Each structure stands twice: as structure tokens, then as C-alpha cells.
Amino acid sequence: AVAAYLSFPSLKNPLARAATAEIIGFLDYDFFRQWAGEPWQKRSADYEAVKERICEALIDFCEARLPGLRSMIDYRELSTPLSTEHFTAHREGNVYGLPAIPQRYRHSWLGTRTPV
């Protein structure tokens, strides 16, 4: 990993019963395109292997900056742009903005206007 966003959401919740961390890294969708036609949770072993390598790289990246972080991890889960695309309908797994789907452009409250 070259860069990552690290957040500790549980620090914002005084009632949290466990510590949580999120590590966000950005990769080009094209890297995952070969698995785009495979169904969620039924993708091939090579996809799962790639996810594992990415997960390890992100944890290594953060561990280098926060020694001891790895030893605090009890559970980890990695989602890819394919996961984001599946659950949010964001084109190519983009994590920001409204999904670019026809229904979005039909809402008058969004103020979408085009001369076409």
C-alpha cells in the first residue's frame, strides 16, 4: 500500500463495547474487473487470495506506523470495489456520491438538467 485512510469509529461512541478500526485503501476497478461477472460470496479462489494479499498489505502498512496494531486484531474483513458496486450500485465501486443509475436522474429534487 502506498497510502491508506485509518479510522477508529469506536472512539466516537462512548458506549462502544469493543474497539473498531477501518483501513481504507484505493485500487483501480480494472484490477478487479476479471471477477466482476462472478456472484458475491461465490467468487473464485484466486479472487479470495488477492483479497487476502491486499488485506495483509494494508495491515502491514498501518502496523509500520502504529506498532502493535496487528496484535489487536480479532476479526478482519475486506471488501473490494466489486462489493461496493454490488451493495450500493455505485458504478465501478466508487465510494463517494450518489449511484449513477437512471432512477437517480428522475428525481426532481436533485435538479438534474440537460439540454439533451
Cell numbers 436533485 label which residue?
110
Confidence of residue 98 (pLDDT cuts 50, 70, 90): low
Mean pLDDT of all residues in 101-111: 72
Q: Give the three-class secondary structure for 22.
A: strand
Contact 76, 55 (CB under 8 A): yes
Give, for 102, the enclosing helix (H) or strand (E): helix 102-105
| Residues 1-30: tens digit of each pLDDT | 678 999 999 999 999 899 999 999 988 899
What distance in Å separates the CA atoms of residue 1 and residue 27, rounded to the nearest whole number? 9
> Alpha-carbon distance 64 to 36, whole Å?
32
pLDDT digit string (tens) for 31-89? 999 999 999 999 999 999 999 999 999 999 999 999 999 999 999 999 999 999 998 88
